[in-house]
A and B are shown apart, each in its own frame.
Chain A
Amino acid sequence: MSAERASLQIRAQVLQAIRSFFSEQGFLEVETPVLIPANAPEEHIDPVHAAPWQLQTSPEVCMKRLLCRGHDRIFQICRCWRADERGTRHLSEFTMLEWYRSNADYRMLMDDCEALLARVAACCTKDGLFRYNGHKISPSASWARYSVQEAFLRFAKADPLACAQNGLFETVLTEKVEPALAEHNTPVILCDYPRQMAALARIKSDNPAYAERFELYLGGLELANGFSELTDPVEQRQRFDEANRMRKRLGKSELPLPEPFLAELGAMPPSAGIALGVDRLVMLTVGADRIDQVVAFTPESL
Chain B
Amino acid sequence: MLSVADLKKGAKLTIDGDPYVVTAFDFVKPGKGQALYKCKMKNMITGVILDRTYRSGENFEPARLEEKDMEYLYKEGTHYTFMDQENYEQVVMEEDAIGDAKNFLLENTKVSVLLFGDKPIGVTLPNFMNLRVVQTDPWVKGDTSGSDSKPATVETGYVLRVPPFIEEGELIVIDTRTGEYSTRVKG
A residues whose Cβ falls under 8 Å from a Cβ of B: 42-45, 84-90, 167, 169-171, 173-175, 178, 193, 197, 199, 215, 222, 225, 250-251
What's the Cα separation between A260 and B11 when bound, in Å?
Answer: 45
Nearest Cβ distance between residue A195 and chain B, in whole angstroms? 13
Choose one: B28, B32, B36; the contact of A197 (CB below 8 Å).
Answer: B32
Is A197's CB under 8 angstroms from B33's CB? Answer: yes
Nearest Cβ distance between residue A211 and chain B, in whole angstroms? 12
- Chain B residues positioned under 8 Å from A175 (CB to CB): 53
| A197/B5 contact (C-beta < 8 A), A175-B53, A250-B57 known | no
Nearest Cβ distance between residue A218 and chain B, in whole angstroms? 14
Is B36's CB under 8 angstroms from A85's CB? Answer: no
Is A170's CB under 8 angstroms from B27's CB? Answer: no
- Known contacts A170-B55, A225-B31, then 15 further A-B pairs from the complex at CB < 8 Å, ordered by chain A residue: A42-B32, A44-B29, A44-B33, A44-B35, A87-B26, A87-B27, A89-B28, A169-B33, A170-B30, A173-B30, A174-B30, A193-B31, A197-B32, A222-B31, A225-B32
Q: For the complex, count residues of B whose C-beta is within 8 A of A.
A: 16
Is A85's CB under 8 angstroms from B34's CB? Answer: no
Q: Mostly helix, strand, loop or mixed at chain B's interface? A: loop
What's the Cα separation between A85 and B36 when bound, in Å?
Answer: 11
| Interchain residue pairs A-B with the least CB separation, the first 3 | A87-B27, A170-B33, A170-B34
What's the Cα separation between A201 and B128 when bound, in Å?
Answer: 65
- Chain B residues positioned under 8 Å from A42 (CB to CB): 32
Is B30's CB under 8 angstroms from A90's CB? Answer: no
Nearest Cβ distance between residue B34 and chain A, in whole angstroms? 5
- Chain B residues positioned under 8 Å from A90 (CB to CB): 27, 29
| A85/B35 contact (C-beta < 8 A), A250-B56, A251-B57 known | yes
Choose one: B27, B31, B34, B57; the contact of A215 (CB below 8 Å).
Answer: B31
Is B57's CB under 8 angstroms from A174's CB? Answer: no
Residue ID in chain B nearest A198 by CB atoms:
B32
- Chain A residues positioned under 8 Å from B36 (CB to CB): 170-171, 174
B residues whose Cβ falls under 8 Å from a Cβ of A: 5, 26-36, 53, 55-57
Write 22 A-B pairs (CB below 8 A) sorted by A numbering: A42-B32, A44-B34, A44-B35, A85-B35, A86-B27, A87-B26, A87-B27, A170-B29, A170-B30, A170-B33, A170-B36, A171-B53, A173-B30, A173-B33, A174-B30, A174-B53, A175-B53, A178-B30, A193-B31, A197-B32, A222-B31, A250-B57
Is A87's CB under 8 angstroms from B32's CB? Answer: no
What's the Cα separation between A89 and B28 when bound, in Å?
Answer: 8
Nearest Cβ distance between residue B59 and chain A, in whole angstroms? 12
- Chain B residues positioned under 8 Å from A251 (CB to CB): 57
What's the Cα separation between A251 and B55 when bound, in Å?
Answer: 14
- Chain A residues positioned under 8 Å from B31 (CB to CB): 173, 193, 197, 215, 222, 225
- Chain B residues positioned under 8 Å from A193 (CB to CB): 31
What's the Cα separation between A232 and B127 when bound, in Å?
Answer: 70
Residue ID in chain B nearest A197 by CB atoms:
B33
Nearest Cβ distance between residue B39 and chain A, in whole angstroms? 12
- Chain B residues positioned under 8 Å from A86 (CB to CB): 27
Nearest Cβ distance between residue B122 and chain A, in whole angstroms? 29
- Chain B residues positioned under 8 Å from A225 (CB to CB): 31-32
- Chain A residues positioned under 8 Å from B55 (CB to CB): 170-171
What's the Cα separation between A175 and B56 when bound, in Å?
Answer: 16
What's the Cα separation between A234 and B27 when bound, in Å?
Answer: 35
Nearest Cβ distance between residue A234 and chain B, in whole angstroms? 22
Nearest Cβ distance between residue A170 and chain B, in whole angstroms? 4
- Chain B residues positioned under 8 Å from A215 (CB to CB): 31
Choose one: A85, A169, A197, A250; the contact of B29 (CB below 8 Å).
Answer: A85
Residue ID in chain B nearest A193 by CB atoms:
B31
Residue ID in chain A nearest B57 by CB atoms:
A250
Is B5's CB under 8 angstroms from A84's CB? Answer: yes
